[in-house]
Amino acid sequence: MAKEMHEFQAETKQLLDLMVHSIYTNHEIFLRELVSNASDAIDKIHFESLTNRDLLEGDENFEIYLVPDAASHTLTISDNGIGMNREEIVDNIGTIAKSGTRAFLDKLKEAKESNAAVTDKEMIGQFGVGFYSAFMVAEKVAIVSRKAGEKQAVRWESTGDGSYSIEECDKEKRGTTITLYLAKEFYGEKAEEDFSDTYKLESLVKKYSDYVRYPIRMNFVIEETPKDKDGKPIEGAEKIKRDEMRTLNSMQPLWTRNKSEIKPEEYNEFFKNLFHEWEEPMEIFHNKAEGTVEYTSLLFIPSHAPFNLYHTDFEPGLQLYSRHVFIMDKCKDLLPDYLRFVKGLVDSPDLSLNISRELLQQSRELKVIGKNLEKSILKTLERTLKNDREKYEKFWAEFGKSLKIGIYNSVYSGTDTVDKLKNLLLFTTSQEGKLVSLREYVDRMPESQKKIYYATGRDKENIEKLPQMELLREKGLEVLFLLDPVDEFAIETIREYDGKQFHSISRGELELDDVESQEVKKETEDIAKKNEDLMKDIKDILGNKVAEVKVSTRLKSSAVCIVSDAQGPSLSMEQAFSEMDNPMFKAKHILEINPHHDLFARLQSLHEAGKDSQDFKDYCDLLYTQALLIEGILPQNPIDFANKVAKLMAK
């Protein structure tokens, strides 16, 4: 096959451009990225070879080599991992298959446009760009790779300027060799950072990749003065050079070391390396357990949620090791799904190496370990909420949604998840600018308040303007603001907290039982009785669009609102379901009219003049549509609505 030229996918080009123009100033991390790719590739062949030994072709000394060449200004990183064939190189390197990169670029653009105070470093932290970081230090990158079990090798080459070439070639050993043709700022004695210098490279490996599980080896040229037979250097003799192959990393898995001897930086580097993260973790859990099941766990909560945490392409799970030997990546069965954001590993001598994935997942040991891990994570979160509110709120902003989804999903999983998680929830509220937990809300409820009130909406400002908020605000009652569609589903699942039921301000009666409210209720009942016909006729005109039309007790200055009944789904749940193409869940629309608003008198007079008049009908229709608009629901027939409003304005 002849050499072919290909264009990078548009997104890849953009990303390369960012790399070349160094959005990330810490150039040296390119080595960590390439070494961890090499280590991952070795993990893969190791895993595959457990069931297919032939793949190893007799070469089972897994190794990573660094070969700096000062003369040609290159640095080569090679591994005897799984390797890549032509399609895989094109897929993995030439195109950015991962939707995440697109999302990354969009977010970066967005942040730039809005001048948000977010640095490139923070942005990239959420995404990471792995292999492409090579272009931060190289003006040309060549990959030669041969996939294990295949004969044909391929050579890929690019200067990072928009295109790459690919051609067939020979390669004796399986695996991947990446050659960086260093840019002139990055080699030679005068360079700020010389990535062709063995000692520099050695220090970088120690700093970033010390515990990589496979030896990272490099040849050192040692210059020595010859010694005499007593071992003394011979004066004036010409120095001799000899080669010395050294292993640069200690390979001792970090988690096997004593907690007290591990520095925070070591944990941080380990985390970045193992999980291709760019930022330090928010929380670290390192435990050794010696109960019925013996294991060591090292878990992390990242400082940012990955962009795709809730997408189907996100793969949660922990790494599994048995006696420090890697068994499996992304084992999902250890932690409950609501902790999907936790990264880390478990190493247990009680797990068998040669057991199938399926059997392993059902193993009793795994269940015991999982339960313990869950407990310790939840305990830490509870402690953080109590003792370090600022930190907890950061956690909440990133991962709170996961816990809320967990509560909602407990409907299906039938677990005691609700009890485990309800005290960890935080809500925006109508009071102060601070988030509130359910405990705090209930503790500061006035004696007379029987329910926990909540409102749903897109944002705080919108909810505060809701007609349904008026009365509660006047009475100084605190309302939880549910801003995410999942919130109401979670609240519905919890049902009650500390014996107090949740109550949406847009559903059912508010059931306030202070003296004043009782009076208002009585007065409204009187008005309702007197206007029974009016209500009935409005209902008749609106037909099955509404379930009921009634005189409101909750409105103060607004004319109308729509609420739903206390039993069925709310309007916002109906909206959420219809967005999911699930129109099965219909809320009961109850139109409430404020009897103290001028509009009420107008309705009465129009009604008296004739309930069949077009004007009365138009008013009814407009009332209903208005109430929907307040809830953020568009009228089914906007043109009709606009025409009716125009007609009224022209009067």
Q: Which is nearer to ligand ADP, 84 or 541 (CB)?
A: 84
Q: Which is nearer to ligand ADP, 44 or 597 (CB)?
A: 44
Please give the helix or strand (H or E) that residue 638 lies within, else none.
Answer: helix 638-649
Residue whose CB is nearest to ligand ADP in the complex, by number: 130
State the residue for tokens 């009897």.
Answer: 595
Report in angstroms how near the CB of residue 56 gets to ligand ADP at its nearest. Answer: 16
* 84 within 8 A of 145, measured Cβ to Cβ: yes
Task: Kindly give the residue spans of alpha helices, DSSP state H, lying in 138-189.
Answer: none
Question: From CA 195, how far away is CA 68, in angstroms rounded?
Answer: 8
Q: Which is nearer to ligand ADP, 37 or 249 (CB)?
A: 37
Report in angstroms how near the CB of residue 129 gets to ligand ADP at its nearest. Answer: 7
Instruction: Supply 449's token pair.
Output: 């308040």
* 3 within 8 A of 165, measured Cβ to Cβ: yes
Any bridge partners for residue 71, and if so which?
Answer: none
Report in angstroms how near the CB of residue 59 gets to ligand ADP at its nearest. Answer: 15
Report in angstroms how near the CB of residue 120 gets to ligand ADP at its nearest. Answer: 18
CA distances from 211 to 28, 256, 310, 325, 624 (A): 18, 11, 31, 13, 66
DSSP 564: B
Report in angstroms how near the CB of residue 3 gets to ligand ADP at its nearest. Answer: 21
Report in angstroms how near the CB of residue 137 gets to ligand ADP at its nearest. Answer: 15
Q: Which is nearer to ligand ADP, 83 or 370 (CB)?
A: 83
DSSP string, 469-498: HHHHHHTT--EEEE-SHHHHHHHHHH-EET
Q: Which is nearer to ligand ADP, 82 or 466 (CB)?
A: 82
Instruction: Report which residue type is found at 105.
Output: L
DSSP string, 219-240: EEEEEE--B-TTSPBPTTPPPE
Residues at the interface with ligand ADP (CB under 6 A): 33, 37-38, 41, 79, 81-84, 92-93, 128, 130-132, 176, 276
DSSP 436: B
Q: Which is nearer to ligand ADP, 38 or 571 (CB)?
A: 38
Cβ-based neighbours of 410, under 8 Å, separated by 6 or more: 416, 417, 418, 493
User: How open is the CA angle 72-76-81, to the nearest 5 degrees?
Assistant: 160
Report in angstroms how near the CB of residue 37 gets to ligand ADP at its nearest. Answer: 3
Any bridge partners for residue 320, and if so which?
Answer: 328, 346
Q: Which is nearer to ligand ADP, 34 or 603 (CB)?
A: 34
Question: From CA 80, how far away is CA 49, in angstroms rounded?
Answer: 13
Cβ-based neighbours of 534, under 8 Å, separated by 6 or more: 603, 604, 607
Report in angstroms how near the CB of residue 98 gets to ligand ADP at its nearest. Answer: 7
Q: Which is nearer to ligand ADP, 176 or 319 (CB)?
A: 176
Q: Let me know if 286 is exposed, middle or buried by CB neighbors in 10 A (0-12, 13-18, 19+).
A: middle
State the residue for tokens 């304005």.
Answer: 649
Any bridge partners for residue 243, and if so which?
Answer: 221
Maximum C-alpha span of the chain:
125
> Please, what's the b/e burial string for 564-581 (b: 16 or more CB within 10 A of its CB; e: otherwise)?
bbeeebbbbbbbbbeeee
> Please, what's the b/e burial string for 383-420 (b: 16 or more CB within 10 A of its CB; e: otherwise)?
ebbeeeeeebbebbebbbbbbbbbbbbbeeeeeebbeb
* 507 within 8 A of 563, measured Cβ to Cβ: yes
**Residue in 143, 174, 244, 242 with CA at minimum distance from that of residue 202:** 244
Instruction: Supply 238's token pair.
Output: 């010409």
Instruction: Supply 252's token pair.
Output: 């001792």
Q: Which is nearer to ligand ADP, 15 or 546 (CB)?
A: 15
Report in angstroms how near the CB of residue 469 gets to ligand ADP at its nearest. Answer: 47
Q: Which is nearer to ligand ADP, 123 or 425 (CB)?
A: 123
Question: From CA 207, how far away is CA 263, in angstroms rounded?
Answer: 12
Q: Which is nearer to ligand ADP, 163 or 423 (CB)?
A: 163
DSSP 90: I
Q: Which is nearer to ligand ADP, 161 or 382 (CB)?
A: 161
Q: Which is nearer to ligand ADP, 276 or 611 (CB)?
A: 276
Cβ-based neighbours of 22, under 8 Å, separated by 6 or more: 136
Q: Which is nearer to ligand ADP, 144 or 627 (CB)?
A: 144
Report in angstroms how near the CB of residue 79 gets to ligand ADP at its nearest. Answer: 5
Report in angstroms how near the CB of residue 490 gets to ligand ADP at its nearest. Answer: 33
Report in angstroms how near the CB of residue 141 gets to ligand ADP at its nearest. Answer: 11
Report in angstroms how near the CB of residue 88 gets to ligand ADP at its nearest. Answer: 7
DSSP 278: S
Question: From CA 45, how far away is CA 84, in angstroms rounded?
Answer: 11
Q: Which is nearer to ligand ADP, 83 or 406 (CB)?
A: 83
- How do 64-69 and 216-224 pair as beta strands? parallel
Report in angstroms how near the CB of residue 550 gets to ligand ADP at its nearest. Answer: 58
Report in angstroms how near the CB of residue 38 gets to ligand ADP at its nearest. Answer: 5
Report in angstroms how near the CB of residue 217 gets to ligand ADP at its nearest. Answer: 16
Q: Which is nearer to ligand ADP, 135 or 321 (CB)?
A: 135
